[in-house]
Amino acid sequence: MTVDKTTIFKARRKRFAEAIGKGAVAVIPSAPVAVRSRDVEFPYHQDHDFYYLSGFDEPESVIIIAPEHPEGEFAMLVRPRDKDREIWTGRRAGVEGALALFGADKAFTIDELDDVLPRYLRDAERVFYSLGGDERMNARMIQLMRASEANRERYGVGPTALLDPREILHEHRLFKQPEELDAMRRAIAISADAHRRAMATAKGGSGEWEIQALLEYAFRSQGATGPAYPSIVASGANATVLHYIHNDRRMEQGDLLLIDAGSEYDFYASDITRTFPVGTRFNDAQRDLYQLVLEAQLKGIAAVKPGVSFETPHEAAVRTLVEGMRELKLLAGAVDDLISTGAYRQFYMHRTSHWLGMDVHDVGLYRVDGESRKLEPGMVLTIEPGIYIAADDDSAPAQMRGIGIRIEDDVLVTPGGHEVLSAQIPKSVAEIESLTAA
Ligand code: GLY
Ligand code: MN
Ligand code: MN
């Protein structure tokens, strides 16, 4: 790891340590290894909270953050160096690396956990640990808490509270620092290139899987880890299935192709959707619906600025969609009624936004004190309205059935309003057709 990066992770730990305060100890385990089948594992992916604080991406590790603890504020428990194992599964930092490269004040091997944890917990007042998916670790922590109760009766010290570190950590992660925005911009630039290539390449007869391969080639060949989530390459009526990931249909010239695909770069996700006609121009029904989704998306984006609630872009997008759906004879009735009854959900059944960061659906509260949260500079969210008309929906005009359209951009809240981080990807009808009908 470079010196710069060590400084960044150290600053994050310092901020977190200040937030949990003296007398607290936080224990954060690495992600478990997931088995794909029998002896084959999924490629390892580190827990994002663990990585955010440590920059360490090995499994079977635990970090301890203990502000002003006499043994040191930052302890790491890691796999030991092991010549034989490293021949099979690659290099390990080991205790030496944890100290020299990752800024640990103290480092131990992971098999010392049962000795080390009680030493840190014994005198703590508050323990921060989130009961996660690792049942053995959960059981160990609960047992330690029980043991310390007895200690407290006898000696008057020991933790009285088990708290969730995510309350604090996720609030930190919600506001992106410059180095995080750099990684997100890079992930987005790579995705932008991939989406442009897909628009220019897809033709009647192309397999959805071929376009998926092209996208993911563009991701990997430009230094991304890969897709940040399973790529959706949905042609024709497949686009009306929100989480379609089979990607096994051969598309026809003139189908709409909905691509929801974003690369992950250095642990940061991008999340981008474009919808375009395969190998030609939009037909009339496609264009009418596309223009409506685009208008709703632009209204949603225009609403993004500090001080407005998280719901405001959604409300702006929904109102625009509902007005347009009436004009296109998809819905009938008063706009306010169609909104308040939720009748529009027949064609728009998901939300307009979510936070974006290390996770594609990133961490951070959407509601605070019972109210929708206000946007603030440094937050990144998606704006992604859509229209989905089932192929067998007899209530819709015939030429619109089987059309699914979504347009999704990644938007940073800035002091003056917003910046569309993915603005470089074509989305006007003219821009798109200059690629698809070239
Ligand atoms: N790709 C997942 C989403 O758009 O939320
Ligand atoms: Mn999204
Ligand atoms: Mn998406």
Q: Which residues contact 52 (CB under 8 A, 6 or more apart)?
A: 12, 169, 172, 173, 358
Q: In this structure, are 89 and 233 located in the same domain?
A: no
My answer on whether 140 and 262 are in the same domain is no
Give yes or no for a contact between 254 and 277, defined as CB atoms under 8 angstroms apart.
yes
Does residue 384 line the site of ligand 1, with CB under 6 A?
yes
CA 47 to chain centre: 12
- Is 361 a catalytic site residue? yes
Nearest-angstrom CA–CA distance, 121 and 260: 45
| Angle at the Cα of 268 from the Cα atoms of 263 and 271, rounded to 5 degrees | 45
Q: Which tokens is 319 given?
A: 């109102």
Q: Are residues 159 and 261 in the same domain?
A: no
Q: What domain count does the chain have?
A: 2
- The answer to whether the CB of 28 falls within 8 A of the CB of 53 is yes
Among candidate residues 111, 141, 171, the one where a domain is terminated: 171
Closest CA to 66 of 111, 115, 129: 129
Domain stops at, among 171, 196, 219: 171
Structure tokens at 348: 């728009």
Look up 369 and say whether it is catalytic: no
Q: Do 264 and 408 share a structural domain?
A: yes
Same domain for 143 and 257, yes or no, is no
CA distance 123 to 24: 9
Tokens of 138: 């959960």
Q: Decide: 311 in ligand 1 pocket, CB within 6 A.
A: no
In one-letter notation, the amino acid at residue 143 is Q
pLDDT of residue 2: 60
Same domain for 166 and 199: no
Indicate if 195 and 67 belong to the same structural domain.
Answer: no
Whether ligand 1 lies within 6 angstroms of the CB of 44 is answered as no
Same domain flag for 50 and 11: yes
Residue of the CA atom closest to atom 5 of ligand 1: 361
Where in 170-306 does DSSP place strands (E)? 226-227, 232-235, 256-260, 263-265, 268-269, 273-277
Which residues span the domain enclosing 213?
175-436
Q: Does one domain contain both 156 and 190? A: no
Where are the alpha helices (H) located in 23-134, listed in sequence order? 48-54, 83-89, 94-101, 113-121
Last residue of a domain, one of 171, 192, 212: 171
Rounded to 5°, the CA angle 325-326-329 comes to: 85
Global pTM? Answer: 0.96
CATH number, domain of 370, equals 3.90.230.10
Same domain, 184 and 109: no
Distance CA 421, CA 356 (A): 12
What's the CATH code of the domain at 59? 3.40.350.10
Q: Are residues 354 and 221 in the same domain?
A: yes
Closest C-alpha to 325, from 391, 405, 257, 260: 405
Catalytic residue among 85, 246, 250, 350: 350
pLDDT per residue, tens digit, the chain (438 aa), is 565 789 999 999 999 999 999 999 999 999 999 999 999 999 999 999 999 999 999 999 999 999 999 889 999 999 999 999 999 989 999 999 999 999 999 999 999 999 999 999 988 999 999 998 889 999 999 998 888 877 888 888 888 889 999 999 999 999 999 999 999 999 999 999 999 999 999 999 999 999 999 999 999 999 999 999 999 999 999 999 999 999 999 999 999 999 999 999 999 999 999 999 999 999 999 999 999 999 999 999 999 999 999 999 999 999 999 999 999 999 999 999 999 999 999 999 999 999 999 999 999 999 999 999 999 999 999 999 999 999 999 999 999 999 999 999 999 999 999 999 999 999 999 999 999 998
Contact 124, 66 (CB under 8 A): yes
